[in-house]
Structure 1
Amino acid sequence: MRLLFLLIILIVSLSVHGQTSTPSAKKGNRATEFQMKEGSYLSFAQVNLSLGEIGFRVEVASEHKNSKSKIEFRIDKPKGKIIGTLEIPYTGDSTYALKLTGNLKHAEGVHDLYLVARGAYGFSITSFGFIFNY
């Protein structure tokens, strides 16, 4: 129950930095799509990485073939220590769930967590969450 409460608090207090807003490519759609581009990042303040997390789950969308974009997971600051990376695949009009699991280096204790975009082409992050070892 406590874990669920902490997860809800994390989602509600999510802060987003560095994304650029561009109109959706579909005509007639008033929704705004946020693109992660080189150097932009999402930040999560004061994340306790000692609650049994074994990784992260990220849903992404990328309309660029062979973009070679990736997400770097960093702690404490946008240019802090890298605790993992994920390559962004071409997804077309759909989203893919990517998972980063395993022994995450330097990922113990409470840290600010940053998802930093790398690569020449933009992509969207539609969802982010933790993978727990139950």
Structure 2
Amino acid sequence: MFIFLDIDGVLNKESDWSKPFSLNSDCIRRFCEKNREARIILISSWKNGFISSHNEKNTPQIKELEAQLDRYGIRIVGKVCDNRYRDYAVRDYLKEHPSIKEYVVVDDDIKEYSSKDIPHLRLVDSKVGFR
């Protein structure tokens, strides 16, 4: 399963935001335990620090995220290109990768999307992160 993943509000929660680029181990554990076969495509602003899987040029924040996901055998395999709306970015990514048939989008912010009716979108409450 491919997961288009936002980070802030999903793998951390609002109370973690006082420290930029923080991760919440409980949110990560819950996410990973429910998504053991996941292949991650970043839709988060964190994607700007991702070059390629385990690349030494990845930002320290991405390296930490990769390390935590690795404990569960989950890998980041790509990132979307910037677009005004994330649903458009996901659509464009899927056009470029037609072999992806099964996917879900996990995010906490509906304002990042062109409408409120987005197929495959699972909204997360940013106050508690992934459950």
TM-score range, shorter chain: under 0.3
Q: Which has the higher contact order (CA 8 A, sep 6+)?
A: 2
Query: What's the TM-score once normalised by structure 2's chain length?
Result: 0.27
Q: Which has the higher helix share?
A: 2
